[in-house]
Amino acid sequence: MKTLLGQLQDKVADAFERLGLDRAFGAVERSRRPDLGQFQNSGAMQAAKAARKPPRAIAEAVAADLRADPAFADVSIAGPGFLNLSLTDDALAAWAATVATDPRAGCPKAAAPQTVVLDFGGPNVAKAMHVGHLRSSIIGDTLQRLFRFAGHTVHSDIHLGDWGLQMGMLLEEMKRTRPDLVYFDADFHGPYPDVSPVTIDDLQEMYPRAAARCKEDEGARREARLATAELQGGRAGYVALWRHFVAATRASLEVDFDRLDVHFDYWYGESTVNDRLPEVVATLERGGFLEESEGARVVHVARDGDKHEVPPLIIEKGDGGYTYGATDLATIQMRVADFAPDLILYVVDQRQHLHFEQVFRAAQRSGIAGAARLQHVGFGTVNGPDGKPFKTRAGGVLKLGDLIEMATAEARARLDEAGLAKDADDAEKAGTADRVGVAAVRYADLMNERTSDYVFEFAKFTRFEGNTGPYLLYATVRVKSLLRKAAELGATPGAVLPPRTEVERALLLQLAGFGDVVADAIDKRLPHFLCEHAFTLAREFSRFWQGESILKESDEALRASRLGLSRMVHDQLEVILGLLGIRTVERM
């Protein structure tokens, strides 16, 4: 199955091919001038040089060919050779008939499925998630939903920050404050307690204190480095205590992730590849890629023609310790070995772009990446009303759980203000408020172009009007209500007839664009395309609902047709909201 645009593109490509020209000139897109046509093609402009003909002459020949096709209501030429195309209402109805009950809402699967690894989330042990983790989690989760929906095989990994000096700091802080614990007794050989001696609250209180101590005291820092080395060397008591750190952190993280409906296939951490680090170094040594530089060992990754400086990637520090660069290379090596991916995507703050450029170049130069393509999917920051990264009123970093709670409280106030969900009991109302709050948070993030910063405003993003998650939820509920009332009256959705009005026509055309939007969102890693489509679809349905007779329509076939069109809108909105990670409600 192809999208309507794909079918149309084939027709135009055939016309160019019949003129002896490349089919690529048949590319079609939605018109930027709807007053001239529903679709447009600029192939004649591009083909002029190859054909050695004026673009207008090529456009006229293609137009003459297309006018013989009964699917076109109008084929016209604008300017020096732009083609404007409009389909007949019968053609639109025929398309609707093929997808009316399609569970994929008219979106075909990818022609060439790939295996994709998605690295996102990236929280750290001993720290609760804060608002800075929001974008990676939501964008990454939405991309995994999109890739899976398109038929790709996806392996998602949280890449937990669970290794390195910070673990040594925590171990030393525990040893300083609770030296009696068996984990520090060199003569104790286990088994170690199953019950953790620390909670996530303990860890969050300990870590800043430990970090400050190491910053101020070189002796404390030296002890932390020694503890880190012993942990990584497998000291049993340290490993057992570290596992408690990880478990306590994961339990806390899962609460926030569950609220956001974000999930991972793998909870691998930096520790997962610890045993691979010597192998990575050996691979770099054998290939002659590892060089000495100011006491460290590095891989040079600069290339002729670079427009900016790309420093060498440090693999081992002067003290022999491995760097994040080494860990990242080992992680790529593991993923290539375990999953044989075509593509590995890293959904990480775009301020880390240089680091990933270094890592990717080193992985490609050394062969560690194999055949996998590596891409950094960067994003901007979430800011407060002052335009700076979001903070609490006290100036601290806002916890992600607190952000969700604040959004839910604002959603509850908006529901009361609008008189929505007033017939629901307390449990249902609380559930609705939670879904509306999460919809506000997720959609506020996704509606913005990924690489842009944006300002998070509770009052703005929890509104039930405008381009917001709550508005889309309400629009879906409204369609559900219409279909429910129709069923109570014994009216059922039927075959969609050729549109009789401009409003019906616009709604069908918007529905038809879904598959192309999904493909674009995946290809460009830009989920906001999906948000734009959903918002326009909801607006077009609102126009349709307000301007056309539906339940009161006396013509049974026309009533069934409009209910059929409404059902298509409902089904597509449900699919889209699912891709955006927004859980719908039955009523408000």
pLDDT band at 269 (very low <50, low <70, confident <90, very high): very high
Sign of CA dihedral 567, 570, 573, 579: negative
Count, residues in the chain: 588
For residue 452, give every residue at least 6 positions away whose Cβ sits within 8 Å of its Cβ, in sequence order, or none: 380
Question: pLDDT at position 527, please?
Answer: 98
Instruction: Give tens-digit pLDDT for 46-79.
Output: 999 888 999 999 999 999 999 999 999 999 999 9
Q: Which is more confidently placed, 396 or 96? A: 96
Q: Minimal CA–CA distance to 459: which of 409, 386, 421?
A: 409
Angle, CA 471 vertex, CA 569 and CA 543 arms, to 5°: 50
Low-confidence winner among 125-134, 258-267, 428-437, 557-566 (lowest mean pLDDT): 125-134
Q: Give the pLDDT score at 58.
A: 97
CA dist 31 and 221 (Å) reads 63
Mean of the per-residue pLDDT values of the chain: 95
Best CA proximity match to 585, nearest among 434, 463, 412: 434
> Averaged over 466-486, what is the pLDDT?
96
Residue 150 pLDDT exceeds 70: yes
Residues near 475 by beta carbon (within 8 Å), at least 6 away in sequence: 538, 541, 542, 573
pLDDT of residue 190: 83
Q: Would you put residue 248 in left (φ > 0), alpha (ψ -120 to 50) or beta?
A: alpha
pLDDT category, 139, cuts 50, 70, 90?
A: very high
What is the arithmetic mean of pLDDT over 148-166? 96
Torsion angle, alpha carbons of 381, 386, 390, 392, to 10: 180
pLDDT score recorded for residue 552: 95
Quickly count: other Cβ atoms within 10 Å of residue 375's Cβ.
Answer: 14
Domains of the chain from N-terminus onward: 4-87 (3.30.1360.70), 165-260 (no CATH)
Cβ–Cβ < 8 Å for 13, 23: yes
The pLDDT > 70 percentage for the chain reads 99
Lowest mean pLDDT among 101-105, 388-392, 428-432, 459-463: 388-392
> 230: which 2 tokens?
């012993």
Q: How far apart are CA 332 and CA 286, in angstroms?
A: 18
pLDDT, residue 201, reads 93
pLDDT, tens digit, 9 for 90 and up, residues 431-463: 999 999 999 999 999 999 999 999 988 889 999
Q: Does residue 584 contact residue 473 with C-beta atoms inside 8 Å? A: yes
d(CA 521, CA 538): 19
